[in-house]
Amino acid sequence: MTTAAQKLTIRDKFKRPLRDLRISVTDRCNFRCTYCMPAEIYGDRYQFLPKADLLTFEEIARLTKIAAGLGAQKARLTGGEPLVRNDIEKLVAMLSEVEGIDDLTMTTNAYLLPQKAQALKDSGLHRISISLDTLDDEVFGKMNGRGFAVQKVLDGIAAAERAGLSPIKVNAVVQRGVNDHTIVDLARYFKERGHIMRFIEYMDVGNLNGWKLDHVVPADEIVARIDAEMPLEPIESSYRGEVAVRYRYRDGGGEMGVITSVTKPFCGDCTRLRLSPEGRIYTCLFASTGVDLRGPLRDGATDSELESLVSGTWAVRTDRYSEERSAMTEELRTRHKVEMYHIGG
């Protein structure tokens, strides 16, 4: 078994290293966002994973340690909504002790964050990303599928700020004709408050969100709209594999970014491995199938055996869906893919 101090540098078929582990801790969510878990499909009778099928915190920590030994330096907790997993701060504390994980983060809708922010910080969470697609209550209520008001998310952001979970990044999925008319307001609001806004091109994740190319607002258009109101200039990426194209405000008022996975794919620098709630690993957000680790783990596999499963999966990785999307037939673009709520964004 490789220790974090003796990290391997495993690479896939395109020489991409493993650097990021995204851990989906639950397939449940208290929102029903139209681009992720539309309410007409994920209603009250929808059968989510039973508790016994979920990886335990101990199992997640063990697999994270193995990933760290293979090169992972960053772990991000996702869902579903990670804060609906009971005692999530206990998992944070366990992961904060994993040697080699230098950046421990979480993506959340922030609805439950006022009750959890300080405990997460005290347990070792470094920073947080918060999903908020608009400041318009009517638009937001429709997009989150529950009629929830923006203020609940803003309260969560304030709690994260008080707890010292910084820098705070706010993510918005932009859909033409839905919330694109509110992007400048979002950018201005978080610029004034010193938080980093990230605008995400609407993606064809999963099979159920009704994605069409003409619903995508290209990142260049998003940047142009904001630049017209608050002048921007590009800045360098913070690290290899960073998904956001970064810009700073020319008046010195911080930065914002765009995630261009549709119009300018970044597969060539993708270093992310995804772990699902029931213990399958996926090498792409748009993957159709994953590799089971829970079965071997519960059947008594050693760390070395699990490490071989992970490294072997990564070694044959050839995923570059976003780069290939435009050349695909409609049949290929709409083939079965794992849903985003199941493996995180």
pLDDT tens digits, one per residue of 62-89: 999 999 999 999 999 999 999 999 999 9
**Is residue 209 over pLDDT 60?**
no
pLDDT tens digits, one per residue of 218-244: 999 999 999 999 999 999 877 665 778
How many domains are contained in the chain? 1
In this predicted structure, which of 191-205, 209-223, 233-247, 325-339 has the lowest mean pLDDT? 325-339
Q: How far apart are CA 109 and CA 130, in angstroms?
A: 6
Q: How far apart are CA 335 and CA 345, in angstroms?
A: 19
**Displacement of CA 134 from its chain's centroid (Å):** 18
Per the structure, the complete domain to which residue 11 belongs is given by 4-343
Q: How far apart are CA 70 and CA 59, in angstroms?
A: 17
Note the pLDDT of residue 289. 85
Interacting residues of 72 by C-beta distance below 8 A, sequence separation 6+: 18, 19, 20, 21, 64, 100, 101, 273
- The CATH number of the domain where 26 resides is what? 3.20.20.70
pLDDT tens digits, one per residue of 277-336: 999 999 988 788 899 999 999 999 999 999 999 999 999 998 776 656 655 545 444 555
Prediction pTM value: 0.90
Give the torsion through C-alpha atoms of 289, 279, 101, 111, to 10 deg.
Answer: 100
Note the pLDDT of residue 330. 52
Question: Would strands 255-259 and 244-249 be described as parallel, antiparallel, or unpaired?
Answer: antiparallel
3-state secondary structure of 125: coil
